A and B are shown apart, each in its own frame.
Chain A
């Protein structure tokens, strides 16, 4: 940054020129913009007060834009209290979140916002995001976009069957012992040890240490959806990512992988080959020799190569019998994981009562059972084998607490639809589930006092009913959150403490096999070093440091 150019901006004349060009592209007044930008800089230096700045340009801004949404001094103070500071204020200018930052800046057309605020960030110790210019390798704290794939995992529903580990090995043709997905039981002081279990995929951290330390950008975050991936064509195999990861989710390819790329491509002759993603980078399936691999959260699925219905799913999620894994977009409040996070006991009950493939009451059976029954609640419940009072109460309770019941594109909406179908069936039969009589009988509403009108279902009662049905999780947590990685996996259940130590689980890795593209069906391996790697060591001394 030279001191002798005439730039007012700390990033120099070149940056300033670029912004001016950007402003010129807009329909708004570039001169005003640049003028405001200069003064914005003065504000950052303390030469001009925020209030004065606001006042000075209020009229001009009104003339130019017809609106001045710039925050007032009070709003500025408020924004300063939030960590976002001026970045938050930026949003008030525009932005429905769909546009790129550049578009937003163009639309704003306000130099003050574009240049001045950028300068503000710099003056406050932020740095220009060099990584953004590289394309593809972005420092995650700055990643924009609507999608961040992640998971909510209900540890209390996991039965330790290792189906997810198998599914992952099959989907990605992994070598033995390369457990991208890993499930373990552990002992811990104090806690109820019967429910101490951890499901451990890669956490796809927003601030991933593995990405930060990578000397090549092979380990990178995909801009469009926040997946932390390894470019197998770039990785030099220094293993620094494995060293820096606090969770131990990385697996190096120490020798030639068991399944060849030809075999993988042959087995996946659909739209994609399960290896190259939609940017043309080789990031999926097992890694080639001499490079690092880890759980990818199935980019080929997310890119639509495995069919539209597989977008927003992962192999482990699909395979989980008790539906303990909710995969989806962590930035969408209507995604499966976010709905689960918002109300985990609802998520549990919904799955048990809505999944017609497994545990939910059957529509046909109910229809047959109640065909000859009367239309009152007691008769219907008595006639139907699948429906009892608790089941129906919980189903109704789920509807009561759920906004936009049966709508949306999350996987769990199918469950809601199934429950909705059962309700329709009952309504057709003549049972009004929203009537005072039925709701009160199901303990989902209070009888109105004398002279008062019935005010419908009680959400508190509904939530209680749901909580009673499958129980509330003991706690929710993110793994090693204090390390500052910002993981994108949220857990429900017991959090392992610092003294937690793995013990044998209900299913032994060695007893379970998985099938790969080359037709081989090896067993799962837990300790890769002893069972696989030591065989290749030249002069294995059988001792350890």
Chain B
């Protein structure tokens, strides 16, 4: 695909450079986050009345809205990311190794955004520690919300460990080429490192990956997250075992799309055509198509259950969902993307990276819309559908919409910062691409000499 040979210098390039464009993007992201922080401060001051939410029932509103919809969407991106990366390690899908770390970082970013949403959503976020942790031993037996927080925390620790262990390897090998100003951070990362641990770390990473793959469908996005909704007794729009697979498929779709967008950006900015190759995009696009197909199949299952011969509450919920214009738009968008993915698979000439980018954006927009709609629909079509104020009205307020800008900015900032600190493509990937260690050693020497003047300067 490319005549260039991937080198350590390639993956170090983001760390060593500093451009006006970078500064501009950084500023925009920082502004986006700050804007939302100000909006959140206003919300804390005035109360959640600044949102478009209300009480379902006589009150004519939706209890949960964009905050929770975006929360589960971000969690989905995060969980999909870690599954993607774990698959690479566990199933030996070496082809995707160059984007594995991007997927892991996406997970950290997604979980950060999701955690932030939990706080933003609360009426009394100041009580999170005393009220939730203080009663954890009791509530963990009952509340799906506590299961959620528990499992998300567990996965955050798992993902961070996972990422940390592989970064440790890289930082130690690349230490001489890394900027001295971050020395304290590198020291912490490589604390107590010895080459003997490499093999052990490899095994640990493998087991962590195995844990992720096994637990993801059982507990994570195929478990506790959908259970938050599907276990409730009287909201037919949410009920049903299909929600487990549905949520998992959405997570994987969103994560693959997210990783594609981020990879596209890095490739473009740092000329990584020979590292994040077209081949990777083609492959990811096919996986995206596969999970999109599953998603549409689950949607069909869930909608058809109810529309055909009831029972009444399920029928009302399903009819309400199908008739919703936003649902129709989201499904059409996702379906058309699927059609494109299949067509480009049959006729490779139809592939282009820009198209892959558009497909990713369409999927992300579609899944986000579906998530928010899913949350709101529960309140619009409850089993006890007697109140004239039900279905109520809901549209996200400006502050809620701004939260999307804020969390996207947050994740962007995370990548912008990490990119200056550690390689976003792991050394293993380069080693793999260049075909083993022997080759690599030669490179190491050349890069050392190449970068020596820089270090001196």
Residues of chain A touching chain B, judged by Cβ–Cβ distance below 8 Å, are 130-131, 134, 137, 139, 177, 179, 182, 184, 186, 198, 209, 211-218, 234-240, 242-244, 246-256, 289-292, 479-480, 483-485, 496, 498-503, 526-530, 533, 536-545
Contacts and interface: CB of A to CB of B under 8 A. Distances in A.
A238 B394 contact: no
A243 B125 contact: no
B316 to A, nearest CB: 8
B122 A209 contact: no
Contacts of B324: 545
Top 10 A-B pairs ranked by shortest CB distance? A237-B123, A248-B57, A290-B123, A246-B234, A539-B398, A536-B49, A544-B393, A529-B54, A255-B47, A502-B388
Interface stretch (B95-103, B131-139, B202-210, B331-339): B131-139
Interface stretch (B189-197, B212-220, B349-357, B372-380): B372-380
Contacts of B72: none
B59 A253 contact: no
Interface string B218-235: 000000000000001111
A479 to B, nearest CB: 8
A536 B143 contact: no
A186 B386 CA distance: 8
A238 B145 contact: yes
A501 B388 contact: yes
Contacts of A137: 135, 138
Contacts of B64: 239, 243
A500 B386 contact: yes
Interface string B48-65: 111111111111111110
Contacts of A499: 312
B55 A235 contact: no
Interface residues of B, number: 72
A255 B393 contact: no
Given A182-B58, A246-B234, A251-B59, A198 B386 contact: yes
A255 B47 CA distance: 5
Contact of B55 (A247, A252, A255): A252
Nearest to B312: A498
B121 interface: yes
A215 B146 contact: yes
Nearest to B47: A255
A290 B233 CA distance: 25
Given A500-B386, A537-B49, A538-B397, A212 B58 contact: no
Interface of B: 39, 42, 46-64, 121-125, 127-128, 131-132, 134-135, 137-139, 141-146, 149, 232-235, 312-313, 324, 326, 372-373, 376, 378-379, 382-390, 392-395, 397-399, 401
B382 A213 contact: no
A237 B64 CA distance: 11
B131 A236 contact: yes
A235 B379 CA distance: 21
B370 to A, nearest CB: 12
A543 B235 contact: no
A458 to B, nearest CB: 43
Contacts of B125: 236
Given A250-B55, A485-B233, A134 B128 contact: no
A53 to B, nearest CB: 32
Given A216-B135, A545-B326, A240 B145 contact: yes
A238 B121 contact: yes
A545 B376 contact: yes
11 contacts: A186-B386, A237-B48, A248-B384, A248-B390, A290-B47, A480-B383, A536-B46, A536-B50, A538-B398, A541-B52, A543-B395
Contact of A529 (B61, B141, B312, B326): B61
A483 B233 contact: yes
A214 B139 contact: yes
Nearest to A479: B384
B47 A254 contact: yes
Nearest to A290: B123
Given A239-B63, A503-B388, A134 B138 contact: yes
A218 B131 contact: yes
B233 A529 contact: no
The main secondary structure of chain B at its interface with chain A is loop
Nearest to B39: A538
A190 to B, nearest CB: 14
Given A213-B142, A480-B234, 10 more contacts: A215-B146, A234-B131, A236-B127, A243-B63, A289-B47, A498-B313, A526-B58, A527-B60, A527-B389, A529-B389
Nearest to B59: A528
B447 to A, nearest CB: 51
A291 B378 CA distance: 21
A242 B392 CA distance: 15
A512 B20 CA distance: 65
A40 B60 CA distance: 56
A534 to B, nearest CB: 8
Contacts of B135: 134, 137, 215-217, 234
A196 to B, nearest CB: 10
Contact of B52 (A177, A211, A498, A537): A537
B60 A236 contact: no
Among A255, A256, A496, A533: residue with most chain B CB under 10 A: A533
B48 to A, nearest CB: 5
A87 B52 CA distance: 49
Contacts of A530: 60, 393
Contact of A242 (B55, B313, B395): B55
B166 to A, nearest CB: 34
A243 B235 CA distance: 9
B387 to A, nearest CB: 5
B139 A217 contact: yes
B406 to A, nearest CB: 14
A500 B382 CA distance: 13
Nearest to B56: A248
A131 B62 CA distance: 31
Contact of A256 (B47, B131, B149): B47
Contact of B382 (A130, A248, A250, A545): A248
Contacts of A483: 233-234, 383
A243 B233 contact: no
Nearest to B123: A237
A1 B387 CA distance: 49
B143 A529 contact: no
Contacts of B388: 184, 501-503
A527 B395 CA distance: 16
A485 B388 CA distance: 24
Contacts of B382: 246, 248
A527 B62 CA distance: 12
A512 to B, nearest CB: 15
Nearest to B393: A544
B254 to A, nearest CB: 20
Contacts of A131: 138, 141-142
Nearest to A542: B395
Among A182, A236, A544: residue with most chain B CB under 10 A: A236
B169 to A, nearest CB: 38
Contacts of A213: 142-145, 232
A486 to B, nearest CB: 12
A214 B54 CA distance: 19
A235 B138 CA distance: 15
Nearest to A131: B138
A537 B397 contact: yes
Contact of A502 (B63, B378, B379, B387): B387
A255 B42 CA distance: 12
Contact of A538 (B123, B378, B399): B399
A540 B124 CA distance: 23
Given A526-B58, A529-B59, A252 B123 contact: yes
A240 B383 CA distance: 17
B51 to A, nearest CB: 7
Contacts of A218: 131
B122 A184 contact: no
Nearest to A186: B386
A541 B398 CA distance: 9
